[in-house]
Each structure stands twice: as C-alpha cells, then as structure tokens.
Amino acid sequence: MTYAYLFKYIIIGDTGVGKSCLLLQFTDKRFQPVHDLTIGVEFGARMVNIDGKQIKLQIWDTGSSWSTAGVRHHKAPDHHSMFCYRRETFNHLTSWLEDARQHSSSNMVIMLIGNKSDLESRRDVKREEGEAFAREHGLIFMETSAKTACNVEEAFINTAKEIYRKIQQGLFDVHNEANGIKIGPQQSISTSAGPNSSQRNSCDVGPDSGCC
Ligand SMILES: Nc1nc2c(ncn2[C@@H]2O[C@H](COP(=O)(O)OP(=O)(O)OP(=O)(O)O)[C@@H](O)[C@H]2O)c(=O)[nH]1
Ligand SMILES: [Mg+2]
C-alpha cells in the first residue's frame, strides 16, 4: 500500500491508563477487557485519508517504564506524542512537557488524552482541567473511551490533521525524519488521493465518524 506520508506517533502514560486498548480500538476496532501489561514497545499501523492524501500512521505503544519522560525522550524524540494521563501524572505534566520540548522539535504535535471517559463515576481529573491545561500549553485535548470507541478515531485523526496542517504551513522539513514524518515512496504521491482505496483499515474523515 502506497502513501504520501508516514507519521510517527508514540502513546505514553502510566500503566493501566489504556494505551494498548486505544491502539487496538483504532487499528482493530475491538476492546481488550483484560490488562495485558506491555513490556517495552509494541507497534501498530493504519492508513488514514487526510485531505485526499493517504497517510500511514505508525504508532508505538509503550509500556509504562518506557513512558517516563527521560526514557521516552531519549529513545523516541522523533515521534509525535499521545499522552494518556491519570491524576498522578496530570500533576506532573508541566515538567514532562518541558522535557519533551527540550528534546524534540518545538513543532512536534502533542495530544493530551483523558481515557476511560465511560467511567464517569470514577473520574479523577475534571474535563475542564484537561481542556485548560491543553489550551495553556498548545496541546490538542480529547477525552476518549477505548471501551466504547468514543473519540478514539478522532484522537488519532485529529493528531494527523494537525501534523498535516503544519506540513502545509511549512513548519516541518519533511525530508528530516527527526520531525516524525517520512515521505512515502515516490509513486505514492501521484496516486495518493484515491477514494477507491481498498486497504482494510483505511478511513475517510467525515462528519459521521462520531461516537458516544
Ligand atoms: N472502562 C474502560 N476500561 C478501559 C479503557 N481502556 C482500557 N481499559 C482497561 O484498562 C486496563 C488497562 O488497559 P491497557 O490498555 O492494557 O493499559 P496500558 O496503558 O496499555 O497499560 P501498560 O501496558 O501496563 O502500560 C484493561 O483492563 C483495559 O480493559 C476504557 O476506555 N474504558
Ligand atoms: Mg499496554
């Protein structure tokens, strides 16, 4: 399958916040009710269609030991981040962000995710807190549920849209893979806009991709 661009993502956050489930819901459209602890890093990939371009999302799902700021930024500074928080980590987001921005290009896209939105009665960070933090620090923010699939599609795709928007604005050197972007094989650029794509996991972003 050809593509115009490949975007590299990394999902990080404490153990049990639902990182692997988010990836599984996005790539396979299913939910894993049992906590299967991730050791090291696992990978997923899926094609999406943004503005008529086929884009491959290559996603690293990290175990929690990988998610600590130091390890993550030294080993994967060239990945756009999806940060899944719980209360304990939310309180340390500022220092995590400083570290992230110190080791990566300042244009790298960071999405802040409050997962398990289906468990409203057990919420420990108010939606408004997440929104305010994201607004203040220039992050994208979403609450998701890997269980119900609420906003999962949107989280991954909104991140891709933001990266794509920055490419269009010339904010990334797309020839420098340190920016978490790779140009696809040459032939993909001329054939990438095909709505006839039959890739199993491909998706068109439209207003009907809602949830909840
Ligand atoms: N209710 C609910 N449960 C969820 C959701 N996402 C994940 N879970 C559950 O939370 C537990 C942990 O999910 P994982 O995806 O394995 O968590 P993780 O962040 O990958 O954890 P590590 O690999 O240990 O870092 C599992 O029992 C999941 O079924 C969600 O959105 N809603
Ligand atoms: Mg995991």
Query: Percent of the chain scored above 70 by pLDDT?
Result: 83
Contact between 27 and 146 (Cβ < 8 Å): no
Over residues 25-40, the mean pLDDT reads 96
pTM of the model: 0.88
The DSSP code for 176 is -
For atom 1 of ligand 1, which residue has the closest CA? 116
Burial of residue 201, with CB atoms counted within 10 A of its CB: 0-12 exposed, 13-18 middle, 19 or more buried: middle
Q: Residue 35: its pLDDT value, please?
A: 96
- Ion ligand 2: residue ranges with CB closer than 5 A: 19-20, 38
3 state SS of 19: helix
> Which atom of ligand 1 lies nearest, measured to the CA of 116?
31
- Residue predicted with more confidence, 169 or 40: 169
> Which atom of ligand 1 lies nearest, measured to the CA of 33?
29
Ligand 1 pocket member 118 (CB < 6 A):
yes
Ligand 1 pocket member 170 (CB < 6 A):
no
Using the mean position of ligand 1's atoms as its centre, give its distance from the Cα of residue 119 in Å.
12
Ligand 1 pocket member 16 (CB < 6 A):
yes
Over residues 157-161, the mean pLDDT reads 98
Contact between 57 and 9 (Cβ < 8 Å): yes
Burial of residue 198, with CB atoms counted within 10 A of its CB: 0-12 exposed, 13-18 middle, 19 or more buried: exposed
Ligand 1 pocket member 145 (CB < 6 A):
yes
Q: Residue 72: its pLDDT value, please?
A: 62
Ligand 1 pocket member 211 (CB < 6 A):
no
Using the mean position of ligand 1's atoms as its centre, give its distance from the Cα of residue 97 in Å.
23
**Which ligand ends up closest to the CA of 19?**
1
Task: Please count the CA atoms within 13 angstroms of the CA of 128 that sit on its side-chain side.
Answer: 0
Selection from 7, 104, 100, 92 nearest residue 46 by Cα: 7
- Would you state the structure tokens that stand for residue 151, as one six-digit string? 């906003």
CA 169-210-154 angle, to 5 degrees, is 35
The DSSP code for 120 is G
